[in-house]
Structure 1
């Protein structure tokens, strides 16, 4: 009976594949999940086709006899964007090292009949004992799925509010920072936490310096593309314009309308490290009327040598303050590039 049942399941899968091909649908195939994934757990697709419902009954994967999971998506948007969960975001997929992964996605215009996926790890495999949460009480998620119309995808956004924010009617300067998963919480970081929240908590106590910080998570495999204004033949890139447009045209207006901010140029900053430093300088040069404070740390200028000519041709306003920093041991080109 076991052999017969397995054969029936495989036949059903093949029929589903054939049926979806005829209708132009796409079948997602999870060909590999992390070792130790409970066989009793149900896997779900959470995405823009179900309002990011992490346990949508209409988007459950079927586990076949070959131990792979299958889901046919009958109705596709122009761009399908999604992640895999085991019924909750606390059991959602992440990268192998415990870092957050960007949303998966593909264009239905170029999608094949089947899309094969490997899940690297699950969020609940990293407990507080192995990778602790370190974010201060002032840190929160603004949104797990903030829509980026300029890039046609969504992204998780972090928000740091000064401890006195809810006790006052003050308005605050705002700093926009890239690589949001590295800023506040080591649990989500992929290269060490920057301790932005702890640092600002201390500055607020000691020097009464209080600001709002908005952290935009990078898109994982899209990081190079979105943090690079020009296409690099070896590494890709070229979506930097759309990314900085998103910051200025979509995210900043939302923050200014929903929080008590000082929206002017001299009270708005942008900062990042490596490619985040590169895109920060580019954003400030493209939008000199928006950003008056710019932090450029260990910038990956080598990735976009076009930046030098671009900066030469643009005039920053006299009120713009730039802070550039790099170490002499960060590679032979780091100091000359700076």
Structure 2
């Protein structure tokens, strides 16, 4: 195997290895790089914040470019060093994924609700959603959990793998920066309505394709959680547009159809009521639906990792071909220049 092929294989397998690390270890307990990025973003916000869109655009541009720039530097360091590329890609993938932690949060909430410990469940759900849980009953908490699992499967698993497959380390780190900034400032609160506009819009753009990939995978994998692909597809076509998010509506609607439940409805965020319509036409969500939702999330994650590995191998192979063509083109350009000046 040539060095170029080994380099391509290492870059592709790094995504799969990173996914495996996430499932094995979950998020680091201390010193998480994403938390470090968030701390840097918060400190920068103290200098950049203003109640206008332009400062928010600059804030996002600096931080996303910085994260992607680190990825570019890593790619250059690892170029033509397959072992280094494999290690760096695996480490970055593990850092930006959140699938295992999502499954753990859902499992903890399921056990708390199964034990009728509503106070603990209301505290736990704050790790997954931004809505006010103080008045939520067991069914509403279960619905919030299933919705968050569906949405975060796209945001924290499918999307980073998609961008990592297309762009390598810059895609992995750049996407996580975009998604983290959306969580930090992409709100409709008085403070961030204008300043956070760029973060929210960029996150919508970055997740548009991954959300639909997640939706298609959910439709295809529905039988493995006792659902029907036709129900998931119908929920997508019929209900996704009712959700205020162009991306969350897709993944939540397909999850509702695959699980045979109803999601959406009335939620309260910081005192603001938001109606997401009805997603799905099944039964009311119960505690027993949390485990299948987490299992569906894992299945979608595995399928995404396999697809991303193949896509990255193809992308790296194409880059190698382009580099070769560029080198050949430069060689013949030099030959032509020499032939013109040689008597």
| TM-score, L = length of structure 2 | 0.28
> Which has a greater percent of strand?
1
| TM-score, L = length of structure 1 | 0.28
